[in-house]
Amino acid sequence: MKAGKQPVILFPEEDEVSAPMIPPAAFTRHLAGLAPAALFLFAGCTGPQSALQPSGAAAREVAYLWWAMFWAGTAIFVLVLALLLYPVFRQRARRWRIPPLQMIVAGGIALPVVALSILLVFGLRAGSGVSADLPEDAISIRVTAHQWWWDIEYVDRRDQSRNFTTANELYLPVGQPVELLLTSSDVIHSLWLPRIAGKIDLIPTHTNRLVVEAEETGVFRGQCAEFCGLSHAQMAFYAVAVPQEEFEAWVERQRAPAAPPSTAAIRAGKEAFDASGCVVCHTVRGGGAWGVEGPDLTHLGSRLTIAAGTFDNTRENIAAWIARNEQMKPGNKMPEFPHLDRETRLSIAAYLESLQ
Ligand code: CUA
């Protein structure tokens, strides 16, 4: 071929392409090869944060919707694949001949209208639970999202002075619908507790409402589901669903002020906490700390994790967090205190651990 001249690709005459171009056995082999991969993927469908293992009424609706979409999608995929393969395997002379306009009306208008209408019915059903009416005395919890943690205030509707605040951990009484009133202090976040409820945005200057109900006891992981900055992926929380009596006991403990130091070592930790400036940003009710920039620490010792579900709540982790939190959760707003020696940091951690 001379330079600059495009090669000419010759297609065979249409009628010559009547035999299957790909042997059916090869297709079957490929599909069989995909089966173990699919099983492997399905193994990831359970766990503390799986929307496919619902433990709440709203999450069950979402799971129904997901399965409806999955099976509808699978059916449409199979149909499209069949239509695609039909001309490959069927000899040309024996194919159906459907006028192009009818094909467009059936495949491009009728099929999407039917499929989307069915999904809309499922979607409306799943969405209705989000704003369900609740009895007057239902538990109400205000959740304010911050970069990158959750401020959680339990509201007493009759007596606001009985409200109390915690962070990054949501206690729920099993079998009782609870109202979450959700907003944000900075950017848009999204609260998603996949095993209990659907997700909803937290928007500055606006309050959204979500009704959640845990149907069984357990610890369920939640996650911010809207990109909100550097540590978005480390903006998690845990929901702890417990029987009613246990929930009431927890509420009483949380409502109480922090316990005074019970040993000399814990007292030394509190003194270091007060002297290091922690009180400027954190609240310890009854402990003389009234900062509001960071999470309320009044009962930090009772929580499962620190840094919004990012690390286990241990003395070592708290001590490390005080000095190196930027490495542990990049971009977080807390200053580092590398000048505090390890002894002092462990002592502060012991004090925080004592706040049960
Ligand atoms: Cu908050 Cu993503």
Domain boundaries, the chain: 139-255, 264-353
Has domain 139-255 been given CATH number 2.70.70.10? no
Q: What is the pLDDT of residue 83?
A: 85
pLDDT tens, 55-92? Answer: 888 888 888 888 888 998 899 899 889 988 988 888 77
Does residue 17 carry a pLDDT above 60? no
pLDDT tens, 120-144? Answer: 888 887 777 677 778 878 899 999 9
Which three-class secondary structure state does DSSP give residue 92?
helix
Q: Report how far ligand 1's centroid is from the alpha carbon of 197 (Å).
A: 17
Phi and psi angles of residue 191, each rounded to the nearest 5 degrees, phi first: -95, 125
Query: What does each C-alpha distance from 55 to 51, 92, 217 come to in angstroms?
Result: 9, 53, 9
Nearest Cα to 166, choosing from 198, 141, 135?
Answer: 141
pLDDT band at 39 (very low <50, low <70, confident <90, very high): low
Residues in contact with ligand 1 (CB, 6 Å cut-off) = 145, 148, 189, 224, 226-228, 232, 235
pLDDT tens, 271-286? Answer: 999 999 999 999 999 9
Atom index in ligand 1 nearest the CA of residue 232 equals: 2
Q: Report how far ligand 1's centroid is from the alpha carbon of 226 (Å).
A: 5
CA distance 170 to 196: 12
Domains 139-255 and 264-353 share a fold: yes
Residue 67: both structure tokens together: 């399965």
- DSSP bridge partners of 169: 238
Does residue 347 carry a pLDDT above 50? yes
Atom index in ligand 1 nearest the CA of residue 225 equals: 2
Atom index in ligand 1 nearest the CA of residue 148 equals: 1
**Hey, what amino acid is at 259?**
A
Q: Report how far ligand 1's centroid is from the alpha carbon of 239 (Å).
A: 17
Residue 245: both structure tokens together: 């009596």
Residue 172: both structure tokens together: 């729920």
Which of the listed CATH numbers 2.60.40.420, 3.40.50.620, 3.60.20.10, 3.40.50.2300 matches domain 264-353? 2.60.40.420
Pairwise pLDDT comparison (4 vs 41), residue with the higher score: 41
Going by alpha carbons, the residue nearest to atom 1 of ligand 1 is 189
Phi and psi angles of residue 180, each rounded to the nearest 5 degrees, phi first: -105, 125
Q: Report how far ligand 1's centroid is from the alpha carbon of 213 (Å).
A: 23
Q: What is the pLDDT of residue 353?
A: 94
Q: CB 102: neighbour CB atoms within 10 A?
A: 9
CB 256 within 8 A of CB 287: no
Does residue 310 carry a pLDDT above 60? yes
pLDDT band at 7 (very low <50, low <70, confident <90, very high): very low
Pairwise pLDDT comparison (37 vs 199), residue with the higher score: 199
Atom index in ligand 1 nearest the CA of residue 189 equals: 1
Q: Which of 28-32, 96-100, 105-109, 203-207 has the highest mean pLDDT?
A: 203-207
Least confident of 106-115, 125-134, 172-181, 221-230: 125-134
